[in-house]
Structure 1
Amino acid sequence: MTFATDQKDDEEGLSPTSQAMLAMRQQVFDLWETAVRGHIDEAQAVSGPILVNTLPAFYDNIAEALTPSYPREHGASNTTAMSSHGGERARMTTFRADQIILEYQLFRDAITVAAHRHGVHFSAEEWRVVEVSIDAAVRDAVREFSLIHERMRERLAATLSHDMRNPLSLILAAAQLITHSPDIEVARRMALKIGAGAQRLQLMLAQLVDVLTLERAARLPLVMAEFDIRDVVAAAAQQFNVGGDLPVVVDTVSVRGYWCRSSLYRALENLLTNAIKYGDGGSVRIKVGGAQGRLMLSVHNTGNPIAEDRREQIFQYLRRADGNSVTEGWGIGLPYVRSVAEAHGGSVAVDSSAASGTTFIIDIPVDCRRFADAPVPAG
């Protein structure tokens, strides 16, 4: 089974080098995780599923791209999965941008070592595909990582300018009174007010630093339970497969985990609605897979691809393009899907091309209990 972002089922049609890459996948990730934990201190406290992030899909994308006839130029083409990798690093870890670059360098090194152990020999052109894939992934991941931190800084600046006005006004007024009042008792009272205002500012700064350091994107409230994702997939598919029509095809394996059933169901429902609405009338396929402690739940449709410059925009809530009108878009469904994925400690990505169709992938840890705000019900 492959985990590539275009929902390819198997290794049929892939070159021997591509198949060899898939065969050594587990050893590559074992080597990579050991190296990352050994070189990046911030990785020590990160669980395996959070650390591995969207990399299994990226790895299989590279394997596909090693087949010259396959419609994928490199491992990061046609997909937002590597932007999602950078987004998760910003939201879920304390990694720095240079450490993201380092982890990709270690990823390349792990491929080199595993290939040597497995006797896999890359041609110059095949290795160029690997290098180009990693370079493109680094750019995508670091760009998204930087954008998220920039938004954090913007929120911090807005909060500072708004919340600190009151204590600053109090301190300035008290200082002016001390300057103009000859009464020592008035000066003493004003000095106490200045001290109180300064303490308030100090507390606010400490809280804001905590927020800036530990902030994660606002998450939906989750109610966790243990269940098999197949049950949710079957229920969602049945909702659309009525009246004798079978527009939704299910390709699933059993994956049990701790998630919020209702929010995942709604997210899947939104993806299916969009796939049917924007597809070409062909069947829509739901696929379920698991790797490295992660669940990959994807929905695929055929039809016109999503333009490259819109692949990130479609996950944003509709906003006004000018003072009078609202931009056309995919509504609130996809932003909700992103919120659900991020609330579960993961991400959502899209892979879209004319050759392969469009696939949306929810990529989240199998055990998401640590991300819930509510107690865990009985399984």
Structure 2
Amino acid sequence: MTLATDQKDDEAGLSATSKAMLAMRQQVFDLWEAGVRDHIDEAQAVSGPILVNTLPAFYDNIAEALTPSYPRRHGADNTTSMSAHGGERARMTTFRADQIILEYQLFRDAIATAASRNGLRFAAEEWRVVEVSIDVAVRDAIREFALIHERMRERLAATLSHDMRNPLSLILAATQLIARSPDLDAARRMAGKIEVGAKRMQLMLAQLVDVLTFERAARLPLVLSVFDIRDLLISAAQQFNIGGDERVEVSSISMVGHWCRSSLYRALENLITNAVKYGDGGVIRLKATNDRGRLMLSVHNTGHPIAEDQRERIFEYLRREGEGQMAEGWGIGLPYVRSVAEGHGGSVAVDSSAAAGTTFIVDIPLDCRPYAGERSG
């Protein structure tokens, strides 16, 4: 069963090369993770689930694209999953942009090495699909990585202009008083105030350096507990399956992890509501799978796809796109879903095309305790 971002759950219709790619998946990721930890010092302190983040789904997307008849030109086609990868690198690690490029190069090398070991020979056009997939993924990941750091710089500029105004005013006023006062004791008192203001600025600068070193964006207050994600999916589906209408289907094995039940439930509600609102009235599928310590939670609907130029923007607060049906707006629902995913140490992505429908994917660690703060319940 694949983890591709279009929620395909079997290998039916895939070519022999695609199936061979999926069969060697575990070997590829073992090679890739070893290579990343060997070549990127910053990866040493990163746990496995955070290191791998959205890459398993990307790998399965590449495998799908190797089937000529499959409606996916390359592994990053129709999906924002690789932008999510770059966003997680900015928020969850101290990786630099050049190191993100290197990890994709190592990913390509791992595919080539595993293929050689398994006797898989790519045709020239098939290997071209692999290379194009990685090239586009690098572009998407670096763009999101840069955007997040740009927003961080904007926040830093606002912080500097606002928070440092008071201690600077205090220092300026104290120096002016010292210059005018013939009283030594008064001058000493003013010098003490200058020292207080300078220490405040020193602390602020230290905090700003911390923020520059590692992104600490504001997160939702999460209360973590241990529960089975399948139970949560069934409960969410029942809320929409009223009066014998089995419109929402659940596909998930029993899977226990550490998450915030209430926020994940609300995120699911938002995603199902959007699927009802923008779908074509067909079945809505809720699915949960896991791989390498990550939970991949998805909501799929058929119907009108999200335009390519809107896929990234719909996660912005109060963004409303287009005219007619779309103009009713995504409101704060999808930005809330993104906040939930990021608060759990993960990300959210969308895969949307006319052929495959629309799938929203919440991709988070199975154990979110190291990434979601210390609150538990």
TM superposition score normalised by structure 1: 0.95
CA 66–162 in structure 1, closer or farther in 2 if over 3 Å, else same: same
Aligned-residue offset at 1:18: 0.5
Aligned-residue offset at 1:319: 5.9
**Local SS of the residue matching 2:244:** coil
Work out whether 1:281 is the aligned partner of 2:281: yes
The amino acid across from 2:208 in the alignment is L
Work out whether 1:158 is the aligned partner of 2:158: yes
- Percent identical pairs in the alignment equals 79
Aligned-residue offset at 1:106: 0.4
Q: Which residue of 1 aligns with 2:167?
A: 167
Q: Which residue of 2 aligns with 1:302?
A: 302
Aligned-residue offset at 1:328: 5.0
- 1-structure distance, mates of 2:357, 2:342: 24
Aligned-residue offset at 1:338: 0.8
Aligned-residue offset at 1:213: 2.1
Partners of 2:319 and 2:330 within 8 A in 1:
no
Q: Which residue of 2 aligns with 1:24?
A: 24
Deviations 1:297-344 (A, max 9, x none): 1111111110111111111111699xxxxx852111111111111111
Q: Which residue of 2 aligns with 1:312?
A: 312
The answer for unaligned runs of 5 or more in structure 2 is 322-326
Q: Which residue of 2 aligns with 1:362?
A: 362
Q: Which residue of 2 aligns with 1:68?
A: 68
Q: Which residue of 1 aligns with 2:324?
A: none
Which sits farther off after the overlay, 364-373 or 161-170?
A: 364-373
Partners of 2:350 and 2:359 within 8 A in 1:
yes
Work out whether 1:212 is the aligned partner of 2:212: yes
Aligned-residue offset at 1:256: 1.6
Partners of 1:221 and 1:374 within 8 A in 2:
no
The amino acid across from 2:144 in the alignment is E
- 1:1-379 equivalent positions in 2, closer than 5 A: 1-318=1-318, 328-377=328-377
- 2-structure distance, mates of 1:167, 1:116: 63
Aligned-residue offset at 1:6: 0.4
Aligned-residue offset at 1:32: 0.4
Q: How many residues align?
A: 372
Partners of 2:178 and 2:186 within 8 A in 1:
yes
- 2-structure distance, mates of 1:239, 1:106: 45
Deviations 1:46-77 (A, max 9, x none): 11001000000000000011111111011001
- 2-structure distance, mates of 1:319, 1:75: 27
**Local SS of the residue matching 1:348:** strand
- 1-structure distance, mates of 2:319, 2:360: 22
Which sits farther off after the overlay, 205-214 or 160-169?
A: 205-214
Aligned-residue offset at 1:273: 0.8
- 1-structure distance, mates of 2:374, 2:199: 34
**Local SS of the residue matching 1:369:** coil
- 2-structure distance, mates of 1:69, 1:80: 22
- 2-structure distance, mates of 1:374, 1:110: 36
The amino acid across from 2:13 in the alignment is G
- 1-structure distance, mates of 2:294, 2:178: 63
The answer for unaligned runs of 5 or more in structure 1 is 322-326
Aligned-residue offset at 1:218: 1.6
Aligned-residue offset at 1:186: 3.5
Which sits farther off after the overlay, 49-58 or 193-202?
A: 193-202
- 1-structure distance, mates of 2:59, 2:148: 24
- 2-structure distance, mates of 1:215, 1:51: 16
Partners of 1:100 and 1:138 within 8 A in 2:
yes
The amino acid across from 1:50 in the alignment is I
Partners of 2:313 and 2:319 within 8 A in 1:
no
Partners of 1:223 and 1:260 within 8 A in 2:
yes
Aligned-residue offset at 1:5: 0.3
The amino acid across from 1:301 in the alignment is N
Aligned-residue offset at 1:374: 4.5
Which sits farther off after the overlay, 219-228 or 355-364?
A: 219-228
Which sits farther off after the overlay, 268-277 or 193-202?
A: 193-202
Q: Which residue of 2 aligns with 1:324?
A: none
TM superposition score normalised by structure 2: 0.95
- 2-structure distance, mates of 1:268, 1:193: 53
The amino acid across from 1:151 in the alignment is R
Deviations 1:186-213 (A, max 9, x none): 3333323222221221111112212332
Aligned-residue offset at 1:222: 1.6
Which sits farther off after the overlay, 243-252 or 159-168?
A: 243-252
CA 320–132 in structure 1, closer or farther in 2 if over 3 Å, else same: closer
- 2-structure distance, mates of 1:201, 1:211: 15
- 2-structure distance, mates of 1:29, 1:180: 70
The amino acid across from 2:60 in the alignment is D
